[in-house]
Amino acid sequence: MKTKEELSNCAKKIQDKIVPGFATLNGVNIPNLENYRIQSDIFNFALPENNILDLPTKTSQAVSDGNWVFLKPLPPGDYELKFKGNIKTTNNETNGSINKDEFAGPIGWNYSTTYILTVK
């Protein structure tokens, strides 16, 4: 893939297999994740040795397509942001429980991610 259109189509095809599972901030559900799917412009990136895609080390271009969480400015304090997605099967069901973690690369993942945020 060389052109922005080819990269965009590839990113879209992969992300079309993903369904947003959940996102919470300090245990409070963040609703309507499906409304926050955004595709990036083309960007440069470097693949290091032993990368999760098992590709050779190189610098290349890519397009990102995914569901993103946008937060309004938070008051000072500590926060726990959690999120997880899942992967659709061919019959549009998810591949297992949203409560179970399993790596599902290279086309996506459904692993729980937690960020500890400190706002000063």
Q: Name the residue among 49, 45, 47, 48 with its Cα closest to residue 61.
A: 45
Q: How many CB atoms lie within 10 A of CB 118?
A: 9
Query: Across-strand partners of 13?
Result: none
Would you state the pLDDT for residue 2?
83
Would you state the pLDDT for residue 93?
54
Report in angstroms the alpha-carbon separations of 106 from 32, 76, 87, 112: 26, 37, 12, 16
pLDDT digits (tens, 9 = 90+) for 21-38: 899 999 999 999 889 999
Length of the chain: 120
Would you state the pLDDT for residue 57?
95
Contact 34, 67 (CB under 8 A): yes
pLDDT tens for each residue of the chain, 120 residues long: 789 999 999 999 888 888 888 999 999 999 998 899 999 999 999 999 998 778 899 999 999 998 888 899 999 999 999 988 887 765 555 555 444 544 455 444 567 889 999 999
Would you state the pLDDT for residue 31?
93
Phi, psi of 14 (to 5 degrees): -65, -50
Would you state the pLDDT for residue 56?
92
Report in angstroms the alpha-carbon separations of 64 from 25, 44, 71: 24, 11, 20
